[in-house]
Amino acid sequence: MGSDLLLYIVVGTALAFDFTNGFHDTANAMASSIATRALPPRVAVALSAVLNVAGAFLSLAVATTIAKGVVDPSVITLNIVFAGLIGAITWNLITWYFGLPSSSSHALIGGVVGAALVAKGQSAIKGAGIVEKVLIPAVLAPFLAGAVAIVGTYLAYRLTRREKGDHVRRGFRYGQVASASLLSLAHGTNDAQKTMGVITLALIAHGSLNGNAGVPTWVIISAAVAIGAGTYIGGWRVIRTMGTRITAIEPPQGFAADTSSAAVILASSHYGFPLSTTHVCAGSIIGSGVGRKLADVRWGVAGRLAIAWVITLPAAALVGGGTSWASDLIGGTAGVLVMAGVGAILATGLYIVTRRDRVTADNLFEQGSASRDPNAVKHDLPDLVAA
Amino acid sequence: MSSYVNVTALWHVALYGVLFGAGIVTCYALGVIGASRLTIARERGGASVIAPAALAAVSFATVATGLAFALYVLLSK
């Protein structure tokens, strides 16, 4: 009975993580399309949600390991997985509150690392794996994607400089729908698989599933629905940062940024070089700002993103470790149940706090009502709407 | 550093990222130019529409091929 309850809690927490992963990462694919009015905000998140769900069903490459190469797999228990998920969810919610795009994968790795460190000691952690899988890719991804976007943006403007502005803007808007859709599909094939892997591992550890069995259909459906629902809810705070606060994005920039992101993500996935989708997409948007003549990149905002990326792993590890410690202190399934309750209360509290300063599809571009950031980029609304 | 980084994979990601990322944007920009000039030629009447139509068709077809290849890479994992 106790182990059944623990399994239900872990599965529920994994789906909650999947949901936060969805709404946190909507911005990766859709922020630039929303910013350039290529798509209305609600249509953009709905399209992204459908493509994330489709992506979840398309890929069979379900990762049945968590924090592979970073934590000794033999020490991972359901309690550690649970604590790691709580660490990742907490970091996703905190960064969402501050509108900071950060990697959900790195948060999950950080949570599991912290939980394993507290539960099993330093020997369970592979330091070289953290450097190889998290730190170096986190540094390389934005520069790599940014460089590609700089070249793409420069060429897009250079080639079309003699054409009529409204023709160019309209043309690139159509292109953005395709490139953003590809990004959403890629996100669904990558990120929903993480949750499927977590749930599948939990089922194997519980004994409900044979180690050689495939992923149950209900796991695929529930993970797809959770990430799709999260995407549809739309992490408007993160979308606002990515779409309007790094740089004012015009359609050629948006297309160049999305296409660069898709190219780098697909290449990294194909060659097995682990790059975070979030870091790649943010790097591309910054690159699209650098690549356009006279564009203004808010380096202060970019710096804040970099700081968030640096502290993602230790922050999620701290929460994951704390959760592991507290649930062990209480003991057994009761400890996990109590910590799940504490997590749910804190998440609800944060949601209530955000209601005072709501960011929605309706006030996404308003300066002042929802935004307290004096560095917000003034959006070129009349020009873009007129086009 | 190289013991922590798969330099070959990184090199491939950088090369193909630039090749496809900037390449698709370039082709699409040429398609936009073709479409823009085609619209203008039609509005004016009498001007040749063949060259801009051909530029737009070839460029967008190349982009569509790139998109199809991207989907293939995505689904072949």
> Distance between CA A164 and CA A167 in Å, rounded?
5
Nearest to A268, CA basis, from A257, A258, A276: A276
pLDDT of residue A382: 35
Torsion, Cα of A335, A340, A341, A343 (10° steps): 120
> Distance between CA B15 and CA A65 in Å, rounded?
30
Mean per-residue pLDDT over chain B, rounded: 89
DSSP β-bridge partners for residue A125: A71
Q: Looking at the complex, report in whole angstroms how far the Cα of residue B35 sits from the nearest Cα belonging to chain A.
A: 8
Q: Kindly report, residue by residue over A240-276, the tens digit of the pLDDT.
A: 999 989 999 999 999 999 999 999 999 988 888 888 8
Q: Tell me the two tokens of residue A349.
A: 């509290």
Residue A110 has pLDDT above 60, yes or no: yes
- For residue A60, name the pLDDT band (cuts at 50, 70, 90): low
> Distance between CA A376 and CA B9 in Å, rounded?
37
Residue A372 has pLDDT above 70, yes or no: no
Q: Kindly report, residue by residue over A275-334, the tens digit of the pLDDT.
A: 889 999 999 999 999 998 877 899 999 999 999 999 999 999 999 999 999 999 998 889
Q: Which residues of B touch A171 (CB under 8 A)?
A: 28, 31-32, 35-36
What average pLDDT does this structure show over A73-101?
92
Cβ pairs bridging A and B (under 8 Å): 139
Q: Looking at the complex, report in whole angstroms how far the Cα of residue A112 sits from the nearest Cα belonging to chain B.
A: 21
pLDDT of residue A62: 60
3-state class of A324 per DSSP? helix
Q: Which residues of A touch B77 (CB under 8 A)?
A: 59-61, 189, 269-270
> Distance between CA A92 and CA A104 in Å, rounded?
7
- For residue A206, name the pLDDT band (cuts at 50, 70, 90): confident
Q: Looking at the complex, report in whole angstroms how far the Cα of residue A198 sits from the nearest Cα belonging to chain B.
A: 19
Q: Which residues of B touch A268 (CB under 8 A)?
A: 9, 13, 17
pLDDT of residue A371: 37
Please say whether the beta carbons of A92 and A238 come within 8 A: no
- For residue A373, name the pLDDT band (cuts at 50, 70, 90): very low
- Tell me the residues of B at the A interface, defined by beta carbons under 8 Å apart: 4-6, 9-10, 12-14, 16-22, 24-26, 28-33, 35-37, 39-40, 63, 67, 70-71, 73-75, 77
- Radius of gyration over every alpha carbon of chain B, rounded to an integer in angstroms: 18
Between A149, A175, A266, which is nearest B74 by CB? Answer: A266
Q: Tell me the two tokens of residue A56.
A: 């979840």
Q: Tell me the two tokens of residue A286.
A: 């910054």
pLDDT of residue A374: 40
Q: Looking at the complex, report in whole angstroms how far the Cα of residue B74 sits from the nearest Cα belonging to chain A.
A: 7
Between B10, B21, B36, which is nearest A273 by CB? Answer: B10
3-state class of A373 per DSSP? coil
Q: Which residues of A touch B31 (CB under 8 A)?
A: 171
How many angstroms from the chain centroid is the CA of residue A297?
Answer: 22
pLDDT of residue A387: 31
Q: Verify whether the Cβ–Cβ distance A164 to B9 is below 8 Å.
A: no
Q: Kindly report, residue by residue over A123-155, the tens digit of the pLDDT.
A: 989 888 888 888 888 889 999 999 999 999 999
Per-residue pLDDT of chain B (77 residues; tens, 9 = 90+): 557 778 888 889 999 999 999 999 999 999 999 999 999 988 887 678 899 999 999 999 999 999 999 999 888 86
Residue A230 has pLDDT above 80, yes or no: yes
What single string gives the DSSP state of each residue in A177-228?
A: HHHHHHHHHHHHHHHHHHHHHHHHHHHHHHTSS-TT----HHHHHHHHHHHH
